[in-house]
Structure 1
Amino acid sequence: MGRAFVEQIEHFAPHVFQALEGEGLYRSHSHESDELTLILDGEGSYMTQGHNILVARGDLILIPANLFHGFVCLKAWKGISVHFFKHEVPSYCQYLVGNAFQQNPDHILVSRLSGWQLDKAELALRQLEEEWSRREHGELSYDLMRNAFESLLLSYHVNASEAMKASRIEQGSDNQIIQEALKVIHASYQTALKISDLAARYFLSESIFRKKFTEMVGISPKQYIISLRLNEAKRLLQQTLKPIEWISSEVGFTSSSRFHELFVKHFGKTPLEWRKREETSSN
């Protein structure tokens, strides 16, 4: 399983940069991974070109990959940062990250937590770190990491600032309908999800829903669900030691032969061949 979808977990050093340090005041950098940071104490500031955000205890921060940004500690702070690759995270987490960055893809995003919500987020981070740092990963390590990371992202969305919520497209527009449908698909792709049921949620006929979805996403809803299941299976093959037949069932295929057929069609290898290739390349 390796380190699964997390590249690095870091703790803040509890110090304050002094102004006399000059150019060292802001620590500017960028990284290929996405970042999720929780401020546990103190105060600071994050900045990008033309964008400056004051942060304090309880702020849950999302920073997109390759965004050049800086930070400065204003009052001795503590926090935990998780670096991850959004295309390698589990399916629903992938949707939650993408949805957060959809409206502001080149900005640092902040959600403000307090009380038990902050305690819950910190606990999820500790659990994520505990599983990630194990020398030997147990059978359920991947699932524990997935649950902890999903909890963090859900905390971000539930507590996102009103300003960010206000920037979302009006409820009822075609784009909003498809975005809501994508959320449902990512949350329940592994079930017997019917396109007709999705369409009925938004009071649309199945044919009109298919047309709107295909125009906006580029492929049909059925193709999207199949692609999502296969990509999730590929991640599980790489990041876990779970049996192939079990993975086939977990991602939503009722027929293992159909799973093998589609996997070979999309990736040019059988699931077993793909797993062996990944094991060889990581050694």
Structure 2
Amino acid sequence: MAKGFITSIERFKPHTFQAEQGEGLFMSHSHEYDELTLILGGGGYYSSYEQNIKVSAGDLILIPSGLHHGFVCTEPWTGLSVHFLYAKVPAFCQYLFLSAYQKPHRLWSAHLDEGDSQWAEMSLIRLEREWHSEERGDYSYDLMRIAFETVLLLFHRNATVTPDTEAHGDKRIVQEVLKEIHRNYNTPITIHDIATRHYLSESILRKKFSEAVGVSPKQYVINLRIEEAKRLLSQTSKAIEFISSEVGFTSSSRFYEQFVKSVGVTPLEWRKQNQQSAKPLTSAPPPNSPR
């Protein structure tokens, strides 16, 4: 089993910067991966071009890739950071990111209460253990997916998000439909059922969705299933027929037909071309590295 969507997991130990360092107080940088950091103890600040966020124990910080940001520790802190590739995260996690990144190029944070913070920490520890394990199997992929999804749900539930004043009417409906599709894409979901739940005709839903997203709801479901199948093909050794069923196709022949139409090669050919190495994508820093 490959390392999947995680590029590295880093623990950081108590550390403070001296005030006399002046402008060097904030460790400013950017990176090609996304980052999700849980502060376990202590406190400090995270900054971007337009933001300066105070953080403390129980805070989750979500940092988009490419965002130039900095941090400073004002009270000796400990924490755990997960670095990952958005393009490779599982389907429902992608929806959670779409909801969190309502505005590009900014930091997002959520404060978890004690119970949720412990839950997030346990999930990240499980994720870390599976990611470092030398005896990985297909269940490891599923365990990492569930652990990561749990942390994102906790983030999503507790995030401080500025209400989008345009999130009414058609936009709200499309967002709800996207949420439903990402949550249920691997079930026998139908556009008729979705439209009925939102008190719309299929034709009206198709029109609203296509105008907002660029493709029809049906095509969006197919695209999502194909993308998730590609992730499973490259990140696991699961049988192709099993993957076909897991992502929601009712028959292997239908899966092969749609996969070749979308990708240009068969699932097996794509797997041979894209199967990831079992080695880490990047070397993980040693435990308790300074931050």
Normalised by the length of structure 1, the TM-score is 0.95
Alignment of 1:52-201 (within 5 A): 52-101=52-101, 103-161=102-160, 164=161, 166-169=162-165, 172-201=168-197
Cα deviation code 1:33-65 (max 9, x no counterpart):
111000000011011112110000000110110
- The answer as to whether partners of 1:195 and 1:206 remain within 8 angstroms in 2 is yes
Cα deviation code 1:101-127 (max 9, x no counterpart):
0x2211100110012111100001001
Cα deviation code 1:212-267 (max 9, x no counterpart):
00110000000000000000000000000100000000000011011111111111
1:136 shift after superposition: 2.4
Q: Which amino acid aligns with 1:158?
A: R
Moved more, 254-263 or 228-237: 254-263
Cα deviation code 1:66-105 (max 9, x no counterpart):
000000000000010111111100000011112100x221
The answer for the alignment partner of 2:289 in structure 1 is none
Percent identity of equivalent pairs:
56
The alignment of Structure 1 onto Structure 2 pairs a total of residues equal to 279
Alpha-carbon distance in structure 1 between the residues aligned to 2:164 and 2:132: 37
Q: Which amino acid aligns with 2:46?
A: Y
- The answer as to whether partners of 1:111 and 1:159 remain within 8 angstroms in 2 is yes
1:21 shift after superposition: 2.4
Gaps of 5+ in 1: none
Q: Which amino acid aligns with 2:6?
A: V
Gaps of 5+ in 2: 280-291
What is the SS of the residue equivalent to 2:88? Answer: coil
Q: Which amino acid aligns with 1:188?
A: N
Equivalent residue in structure 2 for 1:240, among 210, 223, 236: 236
What is the SS of the residue equivalent to 2:143? Answer: helix
Q: Which amino acid aligns with 1:230?
A: I
The answer for the alignment partner of 2:11 in structure 1 is 11
- The answer as to whether partners of 1:6 and 1:85 remain within 8 angstroms in 2 is yes
The answer for the alignment partner of 1:249 in structure 2 is 245
- The answer as to whether partners of 1:142 and 1:240 remain within 8 angstroms in 2 is yes
The answer for the alignment partner of 1:216 in structure 2 is 212
1:170 shift after superposition: 5.8
Alpha-carbon distance in structure 2 between the residues aligned to 1:170 and 1:139: 42
| Superposition RMSD in Å | 1.5
Normalised by the length of structure 2, the TM-score is 0.92
Equivalent residue in structure 2 for 1:260, among 253, 256, 259: 256
What is the SS of the residue equivalent to 2:87? Answer: coil
Alpha-carbon distance in structure 1 between the residues aligned to 2:9 and 2:71: 17
Alpha-carbon distance in structure 2 between the residues aligned to 1:280 and 1:136: 16
Alpha-carbon distance in structure 1 between the residues aligned to 2:27 and 2:35: 15
Higher relative contact order (CA 8 A, sep 6+): 2
The answer for the alignment partner of 1:41 in structure 2 is 41
1:279 shift after superposition: 3.1
